[in-house]
C-alpha cells in the first residue's frame, strides 16, 4: 500500500499552499469551460471522448471523459463543488492531490466502462467531484488531523444529501454508476495516499 509524506509541504506557508491550491483549481475549472466552448463550437465533436461501456477502444477515453461535458449546464453544475473540494484536497500538497485525482479518475472511468448500461455515453467531472467528496470525508480520520476531520464533517453536512441522491439508482438523469465508483475511489485514496505519520499511533494534530 502506498503512502505519502509530502515533505515539501512544511516548507510552504499556509498562505502559499492556499494560493497554489486556488490557482490549480481555478485553472482546472477554466480548462473544463474552455473545452466546452471548443465542443460547442465544433458541433459537439468532443462528446466522442465520453465512455461507451465494454468496448475495448473506449478504454482510451477513461481519462479524457472526466474533462468533457455535455453542455454548459453540465459543466456549470460541476464547477463549484470541484473548485471547493479540489481546493481543500490540494491544501495538503499538490503532488498528493495529483495522485488522488489520478486514482479517482482512472478507477471511476474503469467502473463506468464495466457496468454502465449498453449504448450509454458517460462523461463529466462529477465522478471526480464525488471522489474528492469521499476523500475529504474520511481523510482527516485516516491522517488523524483535527482540522481535516472538521472540514470533512462540514462538507458532509453541506453536500451529503446531494451525494446520496447522486448515487441512487433511482436517479436515471445522471450516471449514478460513475458517481458511486468515484465516491468509492475517493474513500480508498484516503487510505492509499495517507500521510506516513498516520501509519502508526500518533496524537491528533491540526
CA pair distance 90, 198, nearest whole angstrom = 18
Whether residue 4 is predicted with pLDDT greater than 50 in this model: the reply is: no
> Between the CA of residue 205 and those of 27, 36, 47, 53, 119, what are the distances in Å?
31, 42, 45, 44, 49
Phi-psi region of 89 (alpha: psi -120 to 50; beta: other; left: phi over 0): alpha
CB atoms within 10 A of CB 8: 12
| pTM value > 0.85 | yes
| Tens of pLDDT, residues 156-200 | 999 999 999 999 999 888 999 999 999 999 999 999 999 875 444
Do 177 and 115 meet the contact criterion of CB atoms below 8 Å apart? yes
| Tens of pLDDT, residues 119-167 | 999 999 999 999 999 999 999 999 999 999 999 999 999 999 999 999 9
Amino acid at each position: 500500500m502506498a503512502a505519502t509524506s509530502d515533505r515539501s509541504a512544511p516548507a510552504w506557508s499556509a498562505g502559499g499552499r492556499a494560493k497554489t491550491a486556488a490557482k490549480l483549481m481555478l485553472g482546472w475549472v477554466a480548462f473544463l469551460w474552455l473545452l466546452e466552448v471548443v465542443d460547442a463550437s465544433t458541433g459537439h465533436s468532443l462528446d466522442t471522448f465520453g465512455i461507451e461501456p465494454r468496448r475495448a477502444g473506449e478504454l482510451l477515453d477513461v481519462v479524457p471523459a472526466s474533462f468533457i461535458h455535455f453542455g454548459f449546464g453540465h459543466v456549470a453544475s460541476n464547477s463549484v463543488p470541484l473548485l471547493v473540494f479540489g481546493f481543500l484536497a490540494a491544501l495538503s500538497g499538490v503532488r498528493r492531490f495529483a495522485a488522488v485525482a489520478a486514482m479517482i479518475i482512472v478507477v471511476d472511468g474503469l467502473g463506468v466502462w464495466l457496468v454502465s448500461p449498453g449504448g450509454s455515453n458517460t462523461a463529466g467531472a462529477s465522478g471526480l467531484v464525488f471522489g474528492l467528496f469521499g476523500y475529504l470525508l474520511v481523510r482527516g480520520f485516516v491522517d488523524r488531523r483535527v482540522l481535516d476531520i472538521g472540514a470533512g464533517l462540514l462538507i458532509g453536512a453541506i453536500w451529503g444529501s446531494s451525494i446520496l441522491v447522486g448515487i441512487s439508482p433511482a436517479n436515471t438523469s445522471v450516471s449514478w454508476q460513475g458517481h458511486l465508483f468515484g465516491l468509492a475511489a475517493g474513500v480508498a485514496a484516503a487510505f492509499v495516499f495517507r500521510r506516513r505519520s498516520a501509519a502508526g499511533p500518533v496524537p491528533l494534530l491540526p
